[in-house]
Structures are given as structure tokens and as C-alpha cells.
């Protein structure tokens, strides 16, 4: 079975929302940075990558499982773009299937 490669495309900060709905830390996500690359792990290639944000993982895990198994999300290409659930400091991910050798 394959794995899923997850690349952080963007980390955003919506200041107006943060000010309207406190308390939020100022600035984008402090855990994930643009350009970070993660690979799913485990014997089936679907375990959360080490150092990944747990709430973000909960939001994208189903897509990672489909891609790692060689499927397509919404019958599109083998690449999917998804985001974490934080509406004030969202992180945007590129997700794609990859082999065990990557």
C-alpha cells in the first residue's frame, strides 16, 4: 500500500476575525509552516505523520486514507487540496498519493 504526501501550501491569518472573535493568538499557525512536507506512516500508510497538528489531521485524514490507497477524492486527479478547521488561522494542504520509497 502507498502513503500520502502532505505539503503545507499556505498558512493564513484573518486578523479581522481574530479581533472579532477572541481569544486567538496573533499571526498564522505556529506549528505548521509553508513548505513543510509530511508523509503518512504506519503499516497501511494511513497513520498521522509525526509532528502534524491533531485537529488538522482529523479534518483531512479521510482524504489521506483514500489517496494512500490509490483512490481519488471526489473522482478528481490524484491530488487534493484541503484545509484545517481553524477559521481564523487556516492552513491549506496539498495532498497526493506517493509510493513507499518517497
| pLDDT tens digits along 68-78 | 998 999 888 78
The domain containing residue 46 runs over which residues?
A: 3-98
The pLDDT assigned to 76 comes to 80
pTM above 0.85, yes or no: yes
Q: Which residues contact 15 (CB under 8 A, 6 or more apart)?
A: 26
| pLDDT tens digits, 7-48 | 999 999 999 999 888 787 789 999 999 999 999 999 888 999
Number of domains present in the structure of the chain: 1
Helix (H) or strand (E) holding 63: helix 54-68
d(CA 8, CA 94): 6
Residue 52 has pLDDT above 90, yes or no: yes
Residue 99 has pLDDT above 90, yes or no: no
Amino acid at each position: 500500500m502507498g502513503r500520502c504526501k502532505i505539503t503545507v501550501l499556505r498558512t493564513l491569518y484573518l486578523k479581522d476575525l481574530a479581533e472579532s472573535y477572541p481569544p486567538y493568538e496573533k499571526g498564522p499557525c505556529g506549528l505548521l509552516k509553508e513548505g513543510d512536507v509530511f508523509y503518512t506512516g504506519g503499516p497501511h500508510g494511513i497513520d498521522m505523520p509525526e509532528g502534524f497538528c491533531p485537529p488538522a489531521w482529523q479534518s483531512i485524514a479521510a482524504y489521506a486514507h483514500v489517496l494512500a490507497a490509490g483512490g481519488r477524492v471526489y473522482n478528481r486527479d490524484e491530488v487534493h487540496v484541503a484545509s484545517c478547521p481553524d477559521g481564523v488561522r487556516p492552513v491549506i494542504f496539498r495532498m497526493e498519493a506517493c509510493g513507499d520509497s518517497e
